[in-house]
């Protein structure tokens, strides 16, 4: 059995840390702009991460430029651990989360877009740290590995093994023959959606900081918010919630379908079995939930909503659609406490967690494609 190419593994790890440190510098900028008092700590975390990454790349610069399947799986597995360890530094060095265990938990939750948090009062956290917290979602959503694949050819290394190890779903769809071109196009779509959502949320009434943070969390289907009440904070602004709904739906669909749509191949999207069933599931579950909420539940008891803004029927529909999408895509945003709606809906929503979004999306869950495969093989 051929030996592992440890040098190329460490070289790519160094690249990942440099990318991570570069993203931290964005948080330093936000901290400086808002003068939140933690700019020095954020800067120290970024510099330490960049220094370690640079040293790893410098000491392994004479590596054999060959990346095989085993090395690919090792990089994907340990890459996330390296990222989470370095990503904990902003929390610890700013003392926003002084305990390293809690900081590591928050960071890993961010990168994996799980959305679980140890923070009780989110609004008391400095803006630079909150931005980093949301940014870990965004980095993890599309995958820092996919970003690395776009850069690897500059180092003379192929990235197919990383793509195969990282891609969610039963198969890894390629948009272009070269895997690097695929990675670049996926990130372009991801960045474009993020910019579009940020702009729309600002036009709907959010300030820039809240808009970009929620765009990061929506497109990554992570659910970190800048408010203790999550999206219920904006229940008096239905347009903001409809924008979040739209981008949760897009984030839960296969990004390859978005590429085809942008290329004008809409029929290719409409004929895709997984996308059709994803849409059918969302529509059916929303109709069922809306009817139950409208006739049996009181949304105003479980939120700070003002149903008379657009009518009680609209309020029931909006909250139902919001909760269906946030659960199916495992985003985790909250517009109301659905456990207060009816016992049936509590169980109903819990079951949706197992559905998941589409393969090739940022959503979690089992994935719609796997359900289709299981159903068809069971008939």
Answer yes or no: do 365 and 226 share one domain.
yes
Residue 192 falls within a domain, yes or no? Answer: no
| 43 in a structural domain | yes
Q: Structural domain tally of the chain? A: 2
pTM above 0.75, yes or no: yes
Lowest-confidence pick of 19-33, 198-212, 227-241, 307-321: 307-321
**Contacts of residue 325, Cβ cutoff 8 Å, sequence gap at least 6:** 245, 248, 249, 252, 282, 331
Residue at which a domain ends, from 129, 147, 166: 166
Domain shared by 234 and 314, yes or no? yes
Say how far apart CA 217 and CA 351 lie, in whole Å.
23
Same domain? 117 vs 240:
no
- Among 30-44, 126-140, 296-310, the minimum mean pLDDT is found in 296-310
For the stretch 206-211, contacts whose Cβ atoms lie closer than 8 Å and that sit 24 or more positions apart, written own/partner, are: 206/234, 206/240, 209/30, 209/34, 209/127, 209/131
Is residue 157 predicted with pLDDT exceeding 80? Answer: no
pLDDT, average across residues 234-239:
92
Burial of 98 per CB tally in 10 Å (0-12, 13-18, 19+)? exposed
- Counting residues of the chain whose pLDDT is more than 90, the rounded percentage is 59
Label residue 151 by pLDDT band (50, 70, 90): low
- The whole domain housing 226 covers 217-378
Q: What is the mean pLDDT of the chain?
A: 86
Residue 172 has pLDDT above 60, yes or no: no
Distance CA 281, CA 307 (A): 26
Q: Are 346 and 339 in contact (CB under 8 A)?
A: yes
Say what the pLDDT of residue 165 is.
Answer: 47
User: pLDDT by residue (tens digit) across 70-85?
Assistant: 777 788 788 889 999 9
Residues 118 and 234 in one domain: no
With bands split at pLDDT 50, 70 and 90, how would you rate the model's confidence at 308?
very low
| Domain match, 147 and 19 both | yes
Q: What is the DSSP string of 167-201?
A: --SSS---SSSSHHHHHHHHHHHHHHHHHHHHHHH
Q: Is 174 inside any structural domain? A: no
For residue range 319-333, what is the model confidence (pLDDT) as tens digits?
A: 999 999 999 999 999
Q: Which of residues 166, 191, 226 is at a domain's end? A: 166
Of 204 and 309, more confident: 204
Backbone φ, ψ for residue 61 (5° rounding): -65, -20
Assess if residue 180 is contained within a domain.
Answer: no
How many percent of the chain have pLDDT more than 70? 85
198 within domain boundaries: no
User: Within this chain, do residues 79 and 17 fall inside the same structural domain, yes or no?
Assistant: yes
Q: Are residues 150 and 224 in the same domain?
A: no
Q: pLDDT tens, 275-304?
A: 999 999 999 999 999 999 988 876 665 665
What's residue 2's pLDDT? Answer: 65
Give yes or no: residues 374 and 257 share one domain: yes
Q: Are residues 155 and 251 in the same domain?
A: no
Unique residue bearing structure tokens 């739209």: 246
Identify whether residues 361 and 249 lie together within a single domain. Answer: yes
> CA–CA separation, 258 vs 193, rounded Å?
10
Angle at 147 between CA 53 and CA 214, to 5 degrees: 105
Q: In terms of domains, do 221 and 363 share one?
A: yes
Task: Tell me the DSSP string of 286-351.
Answer: HHHHHHHHHHH--GGGSS---TTTT-HHHHHHHHHHHHHHHHHTT----SS-GGGT-HHHHHHHHH
Q: Each residue of 186-220: pLDDT tens digit?
A: 888 999 999 999 999 999 999 999 999 999 999 99
How many whole angstroms separate alpha carbon 257 and alpha carbon 253? Answer: 7
Residues 227, 159 within the same domain:
no
Q: Give a yes or no: residue 150 inside a domain.
A: yes
What pLDDT score was predicted for residue 156?
Answer: 52
């Amino acid at each position: 059995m051929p030996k592992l190419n440890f040098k190329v593994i460490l070289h790519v790890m160094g690249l990942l840390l440099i990318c991570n440190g570069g993203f931290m510098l964005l948080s330093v900028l936000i901290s400086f702009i808002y003068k939140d008092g933690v700019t020095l700590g954020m800067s120290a975390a970024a510099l330490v991460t960049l220094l370690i990454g640079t040293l790893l790349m410098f000491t392994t610069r004479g590596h054999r430029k060959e990346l095989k399947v085993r090395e690919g799986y090792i990089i994907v597995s340990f890459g996330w651990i390296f990222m989470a360890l370095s990503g904990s530094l902003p929390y610890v060095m700013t003392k926003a989360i002084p305990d390293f265990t809690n900081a590591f938990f928050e960071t890993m939750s961010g990168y994996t877009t799980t959305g679980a948090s140890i923070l009780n009062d989110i609004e008391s956290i400095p803006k630079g740290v909150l931005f980093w917290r949301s940014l870990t979602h965004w980095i993890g959503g599309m995958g820092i590995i996919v970003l690395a694949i776009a850069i690897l050819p500059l180092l003379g290394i192929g990235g197919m093994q990383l793509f195969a190890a990282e891609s969610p779903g039963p198969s890894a769809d390629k948009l272009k023959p070269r895997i690097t071109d695929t990675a670049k196009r996926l990130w372009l779509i991801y960045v474009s959606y993020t910019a579009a959502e940020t702009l729309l949320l600002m036009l709907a009434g959010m300030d820039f900081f809240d808009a970009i943070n929620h765009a990061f969390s929506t497109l990554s289907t992570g659910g970190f918010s800048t408010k203790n009440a999550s999206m219920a904070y904006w229940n008096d602004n239905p347009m903001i919630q409809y924008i979040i709904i739209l981008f949760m739906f897009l984030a839960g669909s296969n990004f390859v379908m978005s590429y085809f749509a942008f290329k004008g191949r809409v029929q290719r999207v409409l004929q895709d079995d997984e996308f059709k069933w994803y849409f059918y599931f969302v529509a059916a579950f929303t109709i069922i939930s809306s009817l139950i909420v409208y006739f049996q539940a009181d949304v105003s008891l479980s939120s700070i909503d003002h149903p008379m803004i657009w009518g009680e029927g609209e309020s029931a529909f909006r909250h139902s659609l919001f909760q269906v999408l946030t659960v199916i895509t495992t985003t985790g945003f909250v517009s109301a406490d659905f456990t207060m709606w009816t016992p049936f809906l509590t169980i109903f929503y819990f079951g949706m967690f197992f559905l998941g979004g589409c393969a090739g999306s940022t959503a979690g869950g089992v994935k719609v494609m796997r359900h289709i495969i299981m159903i068809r093989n069971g008939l």
